Structure formats: structure tokens, C-alpha cells
Amino acid sequence: MDVKERYRQWCSDPYFDEETREELKAIEGDDAQIEDRFYRQLEFGTGGLRGVIGAGTNRMNRYTVRQATQGLANYICSRGGQDRGVAIAYDSRIMSPEFADEAALCLNANGIRTYRFTSLRPTPELSFAVRELGCIAGIVITASHNPREYNGYKVFWEDGAQVTPPHDKNIMDEVSRVTSFSMVKTMEKEKARSLGLYREIADEIDDRYMEELKKQSIHPEIIREMAKDITIVYTPLHGTGNLPVRRVLKELGFEKVYVVEEQEKPDGTFPTVAYPNPESPKAFTLALQLAEKVDADIVLATDPDADRLGVYCKTDDGYRSFTGNMSGILIAEYILKERLAAGTMPEDPAMVETIVTTDMAKAVAKAYGVTLIEVLTGFKYIGEQIRRFESKNDHHYVFGFEESYGCLAGTYARDKDACVAVMMLCEAASFYKKKDMTLWDAMVAMYERYGYFKEGLETITLKGRDGAAQIGEMMENARKHPPKQIGPYRTLAVRDYKEGIRKDLAGGETTPTGLPESNVLYYELENDSWCCVRPSGTEPKIKFYFGVKGESLQDSEEKLDEVKRSLMEMFS
């Protein structure tokens, strides 16, 4: 069936509701719109679905959600997991509650029990709930930090982490076999309730989640001592973080927490921000205005599903932003240093980071005698390591983080958690303020001890069928023609994670990367510098990561600019 035939089917088939058919009839004659909506089936990737909300096979809607869920249901049934059930959460985005119900009722129609949160919850709490309820899987309806027109669907497995091999590939295979909507099951909610299939998650899970968060605190006595002296501004950016973040800070004893009123309430239209991403400076506009009024020490923002944290810190020159690498390594060192001092460091401690996260982690881990393990991009691989540590009993997880503003302290969840990141950063801010230091002072002290590491990220957006083809060509050209030099630095080795090999360019020797297959190229450069290129798994983008080590802040910035210019010229 070609694009036009699929379009006509959706316009006329009574299976699709009237609102869907009317939306599509309104674009009749607009070939570009029709092409974009129907040129493919919205791809179910290794983490689930993500796309623009709307009618069509290449859109997030109740029908594509059902279709994906039928594939997941088939996989769960093949493993006899019906009675263990699936936990379901959702965020504040448009259609999130409706998509959560569509997923639940499809699973119910396949005989699978579901446990659905009664209102929006953070993604990390879903991760916690999967294990706490003994479920075989979990689903979160969220598009994380994407623009307002997006929604998504993340799948978690029984360990509480997003699905990894072999489950991700097996689920993708099952979804691909659901080739017709006639193969998709659903049922009425009241019938599902009466059969005991559709259940709701009690508030008790919130309480247990809170207790696990508070267990991560190292110095509650310092929080109590500094509670009146540390001033915090926080914005949930219209997402799920408002209640859990405020609750955990209050229960820990923080007294001066100011929330941005205009962004406090959940709202999937994100009326005050075009892009609800704590990585974006524009997301902090209102929070920084409030920070100036109340003389805040730190300014914090979480994304809509509260798994990412953005940070600004007061300095003598105003408020300074922290990258995800900076806030992550600051929390990491605080935990390692203070657990060691308090005698609470576990045996064989390990820290986990992704391959595109700051190399300062290597220096910090070495300084505290902690094993550092690198994994592919995606927090699910950090969650996978926690499971591996527990099964092999060879390491104890202490902390994990990635450059994209996500981290996890503790093992109560298996996904990044902005709620725990907020509380640990606020505790660290209290700890350093007691020493008459700001968080920026603490960061500078780390630079002086470990080196002036600095990292950057650039992206190129290429939408639609042609964009996807262009991204593919860019990766293949780079794979066939590895650069001998990027900026001022020679390329020492190339890691091709798709081929699973690392090639030393001087001697030509190849060795295995030791990580799963992924369409990623990583260039090891002279002078502790590096670059990495990969297509995004959730957006129509190709991403370029790079890092350097300088002699000062200015030196590292100049070196980073040289590497960035050279890398982007290669792909322009």
C-alpha cells in the first residue's frame, strides 16, 4: 500500500474516529503533509515510540500507540508474564492520559494486568514502581524534553530499566509483525476493571519512592543546619516534577524553596517555553528573574517527565549555567568524597558513565579508588550495569550519569532521576555554603585538581524521508573516510560501534569495543581530546559531541572551539 492509499484508508475507514478522519480530510491536496504523515510507520525503536502528535501512520496517536502495545503484549504473553502485569505512568503532555489508557486497555484485552498511576508521575518513579510491584514491564507516556508537538512511549523491563538486548530487539520484532489494525485488541475500561485487569497504583508507592530518595542523603545534619541559609529557586517547566521535588526538599528540611508560579502547574502546551528543555537557556528566563528577586543560591529546572535537571548557580558575576557534565561530576565527587569520609562507601564501588560524558569522571574515579565503567549513550545501559553488578556481585553501584543532564544516586530506580539530582545538588550546595563556597567555587576547585575538562554538543536537524537518508549518508561517508586530524589534533584511533571495533590509526591494529552494536563513531584525538558522531534515537537529528582538556578555563574554551569548527566543517 502506497502513501496515497494509506491516506485514503485512514480518511474513510470507520475504524478511525471521526476527529481523526476530519483532521486528515483537512489536508487533502497537500502532498507534502500527506507524504510526511504516511511515508512510514512511526518507528518503534529500542526505547519505544516518539513522534509528533496527529493523525497518520508516522504520528503519535491512539492507533499507533495501540499497535505498538499489541506487539509488546504479544512478547509478554510469549514469556508468560500476563499475571505479573505492567505499570503505566504518564506526564503532562497533550494526550498523555489518553495514550496511557489506550496502552492499558490493549494490554488488558490480551489478558495482561495493568497498574496505572491515577495522575501524572515522573519517569523515575515508574522505574521504581516496576520493581516495587513486581511487574514484568512498564510504560511511560512522555516525549521527555522534546517540543510541545511531540509525545512518546517508553518501555521498561522487569529490572526497572528501559529495555536492552535481547528484549528491545524481540519487542521490536513483535511490533513489526502487527501489520494491520485488525490484529490489535482493546476493550472497554469498565469491563477491564470488573475483571481485575485494570488497576490503579495507590499513593503508597509515592511514599515508598520518597523514602528511597531521602536514603541517598549523606549529611542530613548539614541540611538542617543550613536550611534557613540556602535559597533555592525551582521550576518544573509545566511538568511532573512539581509535587515530588517540593515534597522531598521539604521533608529533608529545606525552608527557602521558591517555585516559579507561571510554570508550576502541569500544561502540555508549555505556554511559557517553546522548548521545555533544561539544557536550553531560554527555559530559565522566568526562573532567573525570580532568582534575582529572592537572591537565590541555586536555580533548578526539571524537564516534563522529571528525569533531567538543569542548573544555574550564583557567582560574584551573576548566575552561571552548568552543563549536564558539570552538575553530574559535581554531584559524583560530593558523593564519593563524603561517603569515603563518612565510612559509608561500599566495597568494590563503581561509577558508570556514557562514552560521550566528561573525561573528568576518569580522574575523579581514580582519585577515590572507584572503578569507572563506560557504556553506550542512553541511561538504559547504566541501568543494565546495575543489574549486572547485582547478578555477578563484582561491584557496588555508587553513581551514574550522562552528559544529557541525567544522573542517578542509589539503585532504587534504574533510570535517571531529576528528583534525586535536585536533592543531592541542594545538599552539596548546603555543604559548600557552610564552607563559604558556592557551587561554582566547588567546580573551579575540581578543575584545578583534575584538569580543565570542557565538552560541547552540536546538532544538525534533517526532517522527513530525505533527512533520514541524508543522515544515513553522512554516517556512511564518515565511516568510509575517517579524518586524520580534527582541529589541531591528530586522530589516534577510531571506534566504530556499528562494526564493534576500535582501530589504531598508527599501527592499524583492531580490537573489539566490548559494547553492543550501535551506529556511533568515536574519534580518539591527541591531548586527551575526542569527538563522537551519532544519529539521535528520538529526533530527526545527527549529534556531534566533543571534549578537550585545557590549562585554564579560557584555554579549554579556545581548544573546544577549534575542535568544534573543524568537526562541523567535515559534516557541512
Grid cell in block for residue 62: 491512539
Q: Give a yes or no: residue 404 inside a domain.
A: no
> pLDDT for 136-180, tens place per residue?
999 999 999 889 999 999 999 999 999 998 999 999 999 999 999
Strand partners, 503: 494, 510
Q: Given 202, 237, 252, which residue is the final one in a domain?
A: 202
What is the pLDDT, as a whole number, of residue 342? 94
What is the pLDDT, as a whole number, of residue 46? 73
Q: Give a yes or no: residue 336 inside a domain.
A: no
Q: Is the pTM of this model over 0.85?
A: yes
> pLDDT for 57-68, tens place per residue?
999 999 999 999
Q: What is the C-alpha to C-alpha distance for residues 296 and 129, in angstroms, rounded to an integer?
A: 34
CA distances from 131 to 57, 128, 138, 152, 158 (A): 33, 6, 9, 22, 6
Q: Give a yes or no: residue 8 inside a domain.
A: yes
At a CB cut-off of 8 Å and minimum separation 6, what does 352 contact?
372, 373, 374, 375, 382, 385, 386, 397, 399, 400
Domain that holds residue 147: 40-202
What is the pLDDT, as a whole number, of residue 284? 98
Q: Give a yes or no: residue 315 inside a domain.
A: no
Strands 349-354 and 318-322: unpaired
At a CB cut-off of 8 Å and minimum separation 6, what does 80 contact?
none
Q: Are 137 and 156 in contact (CB under 8 A)?
A: yes
> pLDDT for 501-545, tens place per residue?
999 998 999 999 999 999 999 999 999 999 999 998 777 899 999
Backbone torsion region of residue 351, taken as left when φ is above 0, otherwise alpha when ψ lies between -120 and 50, otherwise beta: beta
Are 73 and 126 within one domain? yes
Q: Give a yes or no: residue 423 inside a domain.
A: no
What is the pLDDT, as a whole number, of residue 190? 98
Query: How many domains are contained in the chain?
Result: 3
Q: What is the C-alpha to C-alpha distance for residues 547 and 559, in angstroms, rounded to an integer?
A: 9
Are 1 and 149 within one domain? no
Q: Give a yes or no: residue 510 inside a domain.
A: yes
Grid cell in block for residue 412: 532504587
First to last CA, the chain: 36
Are 98 and 131 within one domain? yes
What is the pLDDT, as a whole number, of residue 514? 94
The DSSP output letter for 50 is: E
Residues belonging to the chain = 572
Are 485 and 546 within one domain? yes
Are 67 and 81 within one domain? yes
Residues of the chain with pLDDT under 70: none
The DSSP output letter for 51 is: E
Burial class (CB in 10 A: 0-12, 13-18, 19+), 272: middle
Are 2 and 19 within one domain? yes
Which CATH number covers residue 131?
3.40.120.10
- Going by C-alpha positions, the residue among 245, 302, 244, 312 that lies closest to residue 276 is 302
Q: Give a yes or no: residue 259 inside a domain.
A: no
**What percent of the chain has pLDDT above 70?**
100
Burial class (CB in 10 A: 0-12, 13-18, 19+), 537: middle
β strands within 265-364, DSSP E: 298-302, 309-315, 318-322, 349-354
Question: Catalytic residue among 92, 96, 144, 404, which?
Answer: 144
- If DSSP codes are grouped into helix, strand and coil, which group holds residue 16? coil
Q: Peptide bond preceding 276: is omega within 30 degrees of 0, i.e. cis?
A: no
Are 155 and 48 within one domain? yes
What is the pLDDT, as a whole number, of residue 156? 97
Are 166 and 58 within one domain? yes
- Going by C-alpha positions, the residue among 246, 306, 296 that lies closest to residue 276 is 306
Are 1 and 134 within one domain? no
Q: What is the C-alpha to C-alpha distance for residues 80 and 71, in angstroms, rounded to an integer?
A: 15
Are 506 and 496 within one domain? yes
Are 523 and 545 within one domain? yes
- Check if 518 is active-site: no
